[in-house]
Amino acid sequence: MNLDDLVTSVPEAKLKAELSQWVADWKKDSSDVTRLYELVARWHGNTWFADSQAQNEFWANLQIFKQQAVDGLGGMTVNERLYWFGLFDEWDSLSKAEQERVRTKLHASA
């Protein structure tokens, strides 16, 4: 489950749109993957799902995402990092400066 899949796993449309905006903002800023996890965890902690089971499932998915994507960065190629964090499709259209920003964000600077 990559970042975009995590967002789409939210069953409530309003909450999904809210989280989607947080993630879209993160993709455009200069904060890194650790900050992303902190933002999503804080969003989850301040959000009330109508169904507590869905809320618990989202938290479990977030923890799996953290373990696989955030904590697992060290062994990943740049392409794998782009996939995990939903930045693969836009990579080729980015300027060199923007690509460097994304590399830094994903801890992939050479």
Of the candidates 36, 31, 24, 35, which has an alpha carbon nearest to the alpha carbon of residue 101? 31
Answer whether residue 18 shows pLDDT above 70: yes
The amino acid sitting at 108 is A
pLDDT tens digits, residue range 21-77?
999 999 999 999 999 999 999 999 999 999 999 999 999 999 999 999 999 999 999
What are the structural domain ranges in the chain? 3-105
Total-model pTM: 0.93
Structure confidence at residue 109 as a pLDDT band (50, 70, 90): confident
Q: What is the C-alpha separation between 26 and 42, in angstroms, rounded? A: 14
pLDDT of residue 110: 58
